[in-house]
Amino acid sequence: MRTNCPTCSSKIQFPKATKLVKCPSCEQVFETKNLGIEKRAWKIAITGLVLCFHYFIPSLFSPVLDATDINFFVLLILLNMIGTPIALYGLLLVIVEKFNRENKFIIFESFGIIMVFYNAYLIFTMGTIS
Ligand SMILES: [Zn+2]
């Protein structure tokens, strides 16, 4: 694994299982788990994805939700207006971070972005029809 020291930004290389790293330049000790920009990006992405796709959960398990209820649609559209940009921002952060580490495996992230766009498209067209 490679990273930049959070204090002096010098490049540090360490084995993957390392929990604590001591910077050779400034002697700063830091936890490797706190370095994960990608993890933070995923948290943002997942927050957005939950906001976008959460309605699948109640609609799968409860027939009580009335899809023709206008309040349901208003809520759905509002949550998607918030969730869509958050999810896209998070997924793009993950991709940028992966490219920074020269990791080109972004199939899942790309699929996520397509799903978010498709979902937004479905929700907003559904909202205008009904
Ligand atoms: Zn340092």
Q: Taking each helix axis from N to C terminus, what angle separates 70-100 and 37-53, rounded to the nearest 10 degrees?
A: 160
> Which CATH number does 1-35 carry?
2.20.70
Report the separation in Å between the CA atom of 37 and the middle of ligand 1, taken as the mean of its atom positions.
18
Distance in angstroms (rounded) separating the CA atoms of residues 97 and 84: 20
Amino acid at site 99: F
Report the separation in Å between the CA atom of 46 and the middle of ligand 1, taken as the mean of its atom positions.
31
Tokens of 112: 């996520």
Q: What is the pLDDT of residues 52-106, one digit of tens each?
A: 887 766 555 555 555 566 677 777 888 889 999 999 999 999 998 888 777 788 9
Report the separation in Å between the CA atom of 30 and the middle of ligand 1, taken as the mean of its atom positions.
9
CA atoms within 13 A on the CB side of 40: 8
For the chain, which residues make up each domain, given as ranges?
Answer: 1-35, 36-128
Greatest extent of the chain over all pairs of C-alpha atoms, in Å? 63
Report the separation in Å between the CA atom of 11 and the middle of ligand 1, taken as the mean of its atom positions.
8
Whether 48 shows a pLDDT value over 70: the answer reads yes
